[in-house]
Amino acid sequence: MTETQATSSAGRAAGCPFAPAPELYAAQKLDELPRVTLPNPLLGDFDAVLVTRYDDVKSALANDQLRMGGSMPYQAGNLLSYDGADHTRLRRMLTGSFTTKRARELRPAIEGVVGSALDALAAAGPGADLVEVFCNPIPTLVICELLGVPYGDREDFQRRTKVALDFSVSREVQMEKAAEMEAYMAGLVARHREHPGENVLGRVVREYGDQLTDSELAGIGNMLLIAGHETIASTLSASIALLLQHPDQLAVVRDDPSATDGAVEELLRYTAPAAVLPRQAAGTMCVRDQEIKEGERVVASVLAANRDPSATGQDEEQGQGSGQDLDRLDVRRPPHRHLTFGFGPHQCLGQQLARMELRVALPALFTRFPTLKSAVPHDELDYRTNALVFGVNTLPVTW
């Protein structure tokens, strides 16, 4: 097996953080899947089989021998802590709350949240940090809707979320704030046990409350907060930063509502915020006829897979392998089945909601602020490349 060392945990190219590192393109061309040593903010350095081709990533993530294993710290109620039948059972309780129809029903609430973030931006400017005023508040307030956080608690909830998810503070402070958040969730669960609301937590309590413990219900709340906050905030910040560097593409998002859905898919494909998905083999298995032994770790690179020109199974009009230049951002690209939301049993539960948030937020921002521009040179932007989720730490803009 080929031995190689990847440059960063997510394998992003130095100097061009949207692109995969050259090692990932090289790995795609190898006959064998290489073994790499990867740094990981949760696991420390670890050895893993690196999977980079589109078809291989799909086949690996769909293989039931590949488990989350110890890839994430265990938390009751968090789907990413479960595998197999336990995972299926818990996931089934939640899927009804995350359908396309449900995302459509949430659209007016999302428009309200985006509208108030835009008002706050107008009041803060002409000049502000978009991450602080726009990208962070939107997902937090949408999660408040999902969990039924009362309006009176929302400011406090936003403040707690910000600290609990701020990975730049010490581990101790983070744990302390996470514990405060868990206590808040426990209170919210108790309220829903008594009066189940018309939201995700209320629905789960009504339909499955007798099958779930309070700590599992609180864990579901925490999972939605963690899975639905950083991912959206980061996709928004990365997409806006990218569009500000491509004014022709930005103009399409701003001026052509019929292009919105496709543009959001292209931005998801290109930014791939959760760039690597770690797994562990529960038994001996194969990816592309190559044996992976029980206990071995595997890392699937979504970032590389999304740009793999040899991808099969794309839409008819693209043909096998599409032959398109997948390194280019093209918001009018014909549909491409990117893997940004993962694949297989753990595929993102919130993907329709995520799409809806992006479809509402991005055109609304550029329509309300048509002269929006970066307040710093593009090459001085503070990208977050080594965290689990890629984004921009601060995004100073003017208009």
Q: What does the binding site for ligand HEM look like in residue numbers (CB under 6 A)? A: 79-80, 91, 223-224, 227-228, 231-232, 235, 273-274, 277, 340-342, 346, 348-350, 353-354
CB of 197 vs ligand HEM, minimal distance in Å: 16
Cα separation, 345 vs 347, in Å, equals 6
The closest of 72, 95, 5 to 280, measured between CA atoms, is 72
The closest of 102, 112, 280 to 200, measured between CA atoms, is 102
Residue 34 or 350: the one with the smaller Cβ distance to ligand HEM is 350
Residue 63 or 340: the one with the smaller Cβ distance to ligand HEM is 340
CB of 233 vs ligand HEM, minimal distance in Å: 9
CB of 358 vs ligand HEM, minimal distance in Å: 7
Mapping DSSP to helix (H, G, I), strand (E, B) and coil, where does residue 72 land? coil
Task: Give the HSE-up count for residue 397: Cα atoms under 13 Å, Cβ half-sphere.
Answer: 27
Give residue for tokens 């130095």.
14
- What stretches of 234-355 adopt beta strand conformation (E)? 276-281, 285-287, 290-292, 297-301
CB of 288 vs ligand HEM, minimal distance in Å: 19
Residue 282 or 319: the one with the smaller Cβ distance to ligand HEM is 282
Question: Which pair of structure tokens corresponds to residue 238?
Answer: 């990365």
The type of residue at 334 is: P
Residue 199 or 314: the one with the smaller Cβ distance to ligand HEM is 199
Cα separation, 195 vs 377, in Å, equals 52
CB of 2 vs ligand HEM, minimal distance in Å: 24
The closest of 145, 135, 136 to 112, measured between CA atoms, is 145
CB of 93 vs ligand HEM, minimal distance in Å: 11
Residue 69 or 125: the one with the smaller Cβ distance to ligand HEM is 69
Over its C-alpha atoms, the chain yields an Rg (Å, rounded) of 21
CB-based closest residue to ligand HEM: 350
Residue 86 or 255: the one with the smaller Cβ distance to ligand HEM is 86
Cα separation, 237 vs 139, in Å, equals 12
